[in-house]
Amino acid sequence: EFAQGVALYVDDITVSFDGFRALNALSLTINVGELRCIIGPNGAGKTTMMDVITGKTRPDKGKVHFGSNIDLLRLRENDIAQIGIGRKFQKPTVYEELSVFENLELALKADRRARASLFHRLTGEQLDRIGEILALIHLKESAQRTAGLLSHGQKQWLEIGMLLMQDPKLLLLDEPVAGMTDEETERTAELFLSLEGQHSLVVVEHDMKFVDELTQGRKKVTVLHEGSVLAEGLLSEVQANEKVVEVYLGR
């Protein structure tokens, strides 16, 4: 458990695939409650970085710590998902044939820590939590709707809601607004801004308007290139950075 300080510490991580370095001495620190956007051209290593944090890919070297004392490189992928790290892939993966409510209920029951068996009724507290999350993800009116009938953006929110049911300390989100309408994108920015502080968020994103909305001109963004950090700073600063301009225009 940690209330302040470092949420995620990535130090000098290298990952090679057949001699090709997808990550090259990557180091990054995310503070508790921080919302950090990660940008960078295709092939920069963003997905590989998420894979290392979640235990899907083993690095050749380096350290990955969660909070002050959990060495993530010693844990298996399944265990990492259970200690408060939630990952959202680009494509929504909800149970299409179940209702929105049932999706959230299942997410809760899949969490070992919740001790809610599939065969037990939800407690009042758990029902309240589902209600809160339905409101956060703008789906209160759609609780009984079949998830398969939701819009693409609503499915993305539902999946974020499912992650939130497990009360993650750290959320990793891969291009969460890809394919969303402008209005859905704005509401997603609102959602993330409301999560910031209580959760740490790492958002990999290509949509610079969305990054601008999330960072509000005062939060740091990280630019990855060729497997390491090319620049870090305010969006306006990195966008004016010659090295950053070069890697984006060079493609």
203 binds ligand ADP, rule: CB under 6 A: no
Nearer to ligand ADP, 20 or 119 (CB): 20
Interacting stretch for ligand ADP, rule CB under 6 A, among 17-25, 119-127, 175-183, 186-194? Answer: 17-25
43 binds ligand ADP, rule: CB under 6 A: yes
CB of 165 to ligand ADP, least distance (A): 27
Nearer to ligand ADP, 44 or 104 (CB): 44
Looking only at residues 48 through 87 of this chain, which bind ligand ADP when binding is defined by CB under 6 A? 48
44 binds ligand ADP, rule: CB under 6 A: yes
Interacting stretch for ligand ADP, rule CB under 6 A, among 24-32, 46-54, 189-197, 241-249? Answer: 46-54
Interacting stretch for ligand ADP, rule CB under 6 A, among 40-48, 91-99, 160-168, 210-218? Answer: 40-48
Cβ–Cβ < 8 Å for 36, 232: no
Tokens of 31: 């503070």
46 binds ligand ADP, rule: CB under 6 A: yes
Nearer to ligand ADP, 47 or 228 (CB): 47
Among 5, 17, 128, 194, binds ligand ADP (CB under 6 A): 17
CB of 206 to ligand ADP, least distance (A): 10
How many positions of this chain bind ligand ADP (CB under 6 A)?
11
Cβ–Cβ < 8 Å for 113, 157: no
40 binds ligand ADP, rule: CB under 6 A: yes
Collect all residues with Cβ–Cβ distance below 8 Å to 119 and sequence separation of at least 6: none
> Which residue ranges make up the site for ligand ADP (CB under 6 A)?
17, 20, 22, 40, 42-48
